[in-house]
Amino acid sequence: MKKLFTILFILLAFNSNAQRTMFSRQNNYVLPIASAATSDDNPITNNLILYLDATSSTSYIGSGSIWNDLSTQNNNATFTSEPTYSTNPGRFTFSSASYASTISTTINLTTATFIAWIKPSQTQTNYTGIIYLPISPTDPSYYRSGMQLRTNNSVGYNWGSNGASTYNWDSQLYAINNQWSMIAISVSANATVAYLCKEDGTITSATNNDTQAPIAGQKFYIGRDPILYSSTEADLRTFKGNISKALVYSTALTLSDITLIFNAQKAKYGIIN
């Protein structure tokens, strides 16, 4: 009887694998993005494609030039002019010459959410990069998408060929110097929502009603707008201050999602409200 059950199990497993192989070949089946393990610190992991976390020793061991990606996509980042690392909470101090970039790979997005924990040390230059995704690995100044800080540290973004309707939009949500904020940009097909989550526990948002076309990028830049027409301009658009976490999702997160993430992570930054 045991032999009969064993034979039946092998036949069922073989048939299931054969059906999956046939289905994938005939229908261009693409496996969905695998989720990272859910934790109290990051409760939303579906569609997570970048998760750099200086508060986690799994993401950064405390020294070296590699910032490991905790998502399943292996978008590990390497530092240029390695920033200073500090603890409690884990964070990097970026300056005009320091930033991080991931390995080159094709990243296609129709919707997205960019999230970062930041502590600006000064008022940033207009178009300062927080998380950027350029379309070309050799010419990052050609069509870039991502999250930035605009005049007076206003949370902003850029989205591919949409140009000025995105990068000149002013959310009027201002990250405060020398205070921790979780900032986010959630991009859907017909609107983009900016979020500012502050040390006092409040969450505010602003919406730009603009149609967003799909984008394709090659690598993520953390703490810098990778604009190449002027090295001086690129240095000006490099973030000055602390960055602790950088997350990117391939879906547009909602207010409820942003609130859930903020509440799960805020204690590490001394926020108790």
Architecture of the 39-269 domain: Sandwich (2.60)
* Per-residue confidence (pLDDT) for residue 39, from 0 to 100: 52
Contacts of 73 (CB under 8 A, 6+ apart): 33, 49, 50
Contact 86, 94 (CB under 8 A): no
Measured CA to CA, the distance from residue 128 to residue 141 in angstroms comes to: 14
Residue 229, pLDDT > 80, answer no
Question: Which pLDDT tens digit goes with each residue over 64-84?
Answer: 999 999 999 999 999 999 999
Question: Which pLDDT tens digit goes with each residue over 179-227?
Answer: 999 999 999 999 999 999 999 999 999 999 999 889 988 899 999 988 7
Q: pLDDT confidence of 164, banded at 50, 70, 90? A: confident
Q: pLDDT confidence of 47, banded at 50, 70, 90? A: very high
User: Domain extents for the chain?
Assistant: 1-31, 39-269
- What's the DSSP call for residue 250? S
Measured CA to CA, the distance from residue 15 to residue 19 in angstroms comes to: 6
Residue where the block lists tokens 């509440």 = 263
Q: What is the pTM of this model?
A: 0.85
* Per-residue confidence (pLDDT) for residue 96, from 0 to 100: 84
Residue 24, pLDDT > 50, answer no
Q: pLDDT confidence of 33, banded at 50, 70, 90? A: low
